[in-house]
Amino acid sequence: MPCSDHIRVHTTTLGGTASNVVVANVVHGLMSMTATYSWVPKPVPDEQAFEAIRSGVDALQPGVKMVLNSSQFYGMGWTTANLELLSRFFERYPDYADRTFLMVKGGFNVAKNRVDNSPENLRHSVHACITALRGTKKMDVFQPARIDKLCTIEETMKTLVELKNEGKFNHIGLSECAAATLRRAHAVHPITIVEIEVSVTSYEEEARKVLASAAELGVAVAAYSPLCHGLLCGAVTKREDLDPHDVRNLLSRFREGNLQNNLAIAGAIRSIAANRGYTPAQLCIAWVASLGEKVLPLPGSTRKERTLENLAAGQITLVEDEKSEIARAMETYPVHGGRYYDDAEADAVLWG
């Protein structure tokens, strides 16, 4: 693609040992490309997935990397299908390895069906990820997917530092951690990026604390589900829109009663976006990006058109009137239900 066709996206640098890495300020989430739990019924064809990835990378100005977000278990039955897809992509397009920054979550023990950040399981997890990538791309960041309450964060970090020093991956990240945990981890070794859920419907007190701590420490934040699993962009307008096997049927905010109430905030976002000439998804992504210099919205995309729409949102700088209008909508139409469970208190157990 000629330089004149590059999108002049907003860029930022990451944190910790990757503070010199310049990236687009919107992450490309890859989870939906492979049949993961019940989020998607079947894998996306390779050609479609490859086009979606390449379009985002090709749109960037020279020297800017696209952050790709994957996992050891983004495949039906907790398999490495997502990383295997990436290995096929990099085998076909090896030049893209240096133009992307790969985040990989792991640390889940499939046999025990639980988070397991013991030294043995972290080593097993990292090995599984490296095996799935088949030497096509080194993991830029490895991050435990959740904080293991059976291990101290200092013990977890000790293992991660050992693995990093052995050359298994380049940088250390965290996911779904509390602010205090981030500070303790960062004291052991600089954290490059932390992944948490942030959206106009997921802006809880602990999320705000993590954002503040990360900004103070110079740590980047990958803010996943900026569209509340499709609710905020109009993908779901009633319960009947969900396939009976869709995992969102189990999420508190999509349950009968809660969904009807939450459609009010979704409608308000659509109205604001329409008045401003944005798509609802772009408005939500831009709002998340406005929360900090190193806050990177992490929407998923399986199609070229969606990838480019998401990237274009990264060019939007919301003015104060727009932020105020969104804040009023959030106050007027408070979200009903927790991120996963029935209320916010139950969800608090997710913060490690």
Show which residues are catalytic: 74
Strand partners of residue 7: 60
**Residue 44 backbone phi and psi in degrees, to 5:** -80, 140
| Distances from the Cα of 286 to the Cα of 26, 91, 138, 192, 252, angstroms | 9, 33, 30, 22, 25
Strand partners of residue 199: 202
Pairing state between β 141-144 and 114-115: unpaired
**Residue 169 backbone phi and psi in degrees, to 5:** -155, 170
- What is the DSSP track for 290-315? TT-TTEEEE-B-SSHHHHHHHHHHTT
| Dihedral over alpha carbons 78, 81, 82, 84 (to 10 degrees) | 140
Residue type, 110: V
Residue keyed to tokens 């210099």: 293
- What is the DSSP track for 94-134? GGGSTTEEEEEEE-EETTTTEE--SHHHHHHHHHHHHHHHT
Strand partners of residue 295: 221
Pairing state between β 220-224 and 193-197: parallel
- SS3 category, 139: coil
Looking at residue 243, what DSSP letter applies?
-
- SS3 category, 53: helix
